[in-house]
Amino acid sequence: MPLPQSFKAMVVTETANKTFVREVKQREFGDLPAGELIIEVKNSSLNYKDALSATGNKGVTRKYPHTPGIDAAGVVAGSTTRSFAVGILAKLGYEVVAATGKSDEKDFLTRLGAKAIISREEANDTSGRPLQKGRWAGVVDTVGGNILATALKTTKDGGLVAACGNAMSADLVTSVYPFILRGVSLLGVNSVDVPMRPRTIAWQKLANEWKVDLSGDLITECSLEELSAKIDLILKGGIRGRVVVDLSR
């Protein structure tokens, strides 16, 4: 099928006084860098990294103008030469304890498969002790900072902690004791640069044995024009589940 000559996109621009402006614009194919894979994007989940990119975080996006959309999904149209951890782990038979700062999220997390819910305070140890009683066989952390440090000191012997994000903080102050006294392992996650083979294996699992029921209110759809407000919301921790941008709306 012939490709349209232009497409709609959110474009984030850096102004002369170092502020960042978001606009939905019509763009031409000629605006795209040469030699790249062309994907006719149907949807994209609103990733927290997109919100950081849309507000000028140079650790995420070095050069502007830029169109965020790390989770873009669609059909490969041409080429001249790209967690619901609670739901997935519950489905695999693990007993999952979820942490949240929102008291009204209990039903939502229980529906995803959590057996118990703890508060953000409980997940954020401020005692200053290097180790606490081991509670977890494994932890998936999306927030960094002292919550990641707490995860390390409350993980049992031989346990695994995956560091995925920095929604709370990019800092990590810990001691070596979880590693040398309990053999805890800290695993880094960088979804951006995963080679195609493990990526394909993960996609196949996500579409089959790891598939989480996303019906009901776990998914909110929005158009490109509604995206800017959702970016502000995700940065304030006001989104739950996934926001999917539907480019046909």
Q: Is 83 in the site for ligand NAP (CB under 6 A)?
A: yes
Query: What ranges in the chain are assigned the alpha helix state H?
Result: 48-54, 85-91, 106-112, 145-153, 177-180, 196-207, 224-235
Other Cβ atoms closer than 10 A to 195? 7
Which residue, 49 or 66, is less far from ligand NAP as judged by CB? 49
One character per residue 129-158, x = contact with ligand NAP (rule: CB under 6 A):
-------------xx---x-----------
Q: Is 47 in the site for ligand NAP (CB under 6 A)?
A: yes
* CB-count burial class (<10 Å; 0-12, 13-18, 19+) for 54: buried
CB 234 within 8 A of CB 48: yes
3-state helix, strand, coil in the chain (%, to 5): 30, 30, 45
Q: Is 89 in the site for ligand NAP (CB under 6 A)?
A: no
Strand partners, 39: 76
Tell me the closest approach of the beta carbon of residue 23 to ligand NAP, in angstroms: 24
Strand partners, 112: none
Q: Is 192 in the site for ligand NAP (CB under 6 A)?
A: yes
Q: Is 120 in the site for ligand NAP (CB under 6 A)?
A: yes
Which residue, 32 or 170, is less far from ligand NAP as judged by CB? 170
Stretch that binds ligand NAP, among 5-13, 46-54, 131-139, 207-215 (CB under 6 A): 46-54
CB 152 within 8 A of CB 130: no
C-alpha 249/C-alpha 243 separation (Å) is 14
According to CB under 6 A, which one of 164, 184, 186, 231 is a site residue for ligand NAP? 164
Tell me the closest approach of the beta carbon of residue 118 to ligand NAP, in angstroms: 11
Is the peptide bond prior to 198 cis by the omega test (within 30 degrees of 0)? no
Which residue, 6 or 107, is less far from ligand NAP as judged by CB? 107
CB 146 within 8 A of CB 169: yes
According to CB under 6 A, which one of 12, 44, 49, 114 is a site residue for ligand NAP? 49
C-beta nearest to ligand NAP: residue: 165
Q: Is 195 in the site for ligand NAP (CB under 6 A)?
A: no
Q: Is 53 in the site for ligand NAP (CB under 6 A)?
A: no
Which residue, 19 or 191, is less far from ligand NAP as judged by CB? 191
C-alpha 115/C-alpha 94 separation (Å) is 9
Q: What are the residues binding ligand NAP (CB under 6 A)?
A: 47-49, 83, 100-102, 105, 120, 142-143, 147, 164-168, 189-192, 237, 239
